[in-house]
Amino acid sequence: MYTLNDDRTIEYGWMRENLGHGDGWVLDLGTPAGYPTQEDAISKGWNVLSIDLRGDPFEHPNHIHVVGDFNQIELGRKFDYVLNVSSIEHFGLAGRYGVTVADPDADIHAMEKLAKVMKPGAQMVLTIPVGVDRIFSPWHRVYGDLRFHQLIRPFTVLKARFWVKRGGIDKYVEGSRDEAFGTMPQAPPDHYYALGGFVLGVPPNG
């Protein structure tokens, strides 16, 4: 039986591969302390604003943390880059990560808002569960062809990579898009799904 073993290695590796050096503002979406996204972005020269429903004890002169629901917050600035690492699939699923009010389209609304707060030419690194469309509430969504296209509607896909497990070996390996989206996810507590890594851009007329 497959598990999510090594998923964070894949996801944070994708983030590090695609976030270059800069001196503007990065929005780190739904990532509390204990994960390397903020530290990695700051080490590359960025200022970071992180948003999560939970608090964040990480302190640095180039880091601001906001506690709250991203869909309800007025940010007051636009961003050069967005880190959306293993976050969006939890939006609106009440019962975990501080979510108390169910909203079946919170993930779609958040992506629409992200497109509006990104500067022209800005990019987003996105990692999500992919496979046959499923919702395992309160845990996470799995994005299949239907929901995935709804999710990324405001964006253009600049880069994509997929990882699957096969042959009875519980280790992620690179796979094709068709293989990843054809994966039948396993329900909790024995989670398993394929992984999708994307770099998204906002169309000039978006």
- How far apart are the C-alpha atoms of 121 and 32, rounded to whole Å? 27
Specify burial of residue 8 (Cβ count, 10 A radius: 0-12, 13-18, 19+). Answer: middle
Please report which confidence band the pLDDT of residue 206 belongs to, taking 50, 70 and 90 as the band edges.
low
Tokens standing for 111?
Answer: 């992506």
Domain with residues 7-201, CATH architecture: 3-Layer(aba) Sandwich (3.40)
Q: Where are the domains of the chain?
A: 7-201
**Which among 32, 10, 19, 3 is positioned nearest to 197, based on CA atoms?**
10
In the chain, beta strands by DSSP E: 25-29, 47-52, 63-67, 79-85, 118-130, 134-136, 140-142, 156-164, 173-175, 194-201
pLDDT at 178 over 90: yes
Tokens coding 88: 């969006």
pLDDT attached to residue 205:
63
pLDDT digits (tens, 9 = 90+) for 60-115: 899 999 999 999 999 989 999 999 999 999 998 987 777 778 889 999 999 999 99
Q: What is the mean pLDDT of the chain?
A: 92
> Would the pLDDT of 186 be above 80?
yes
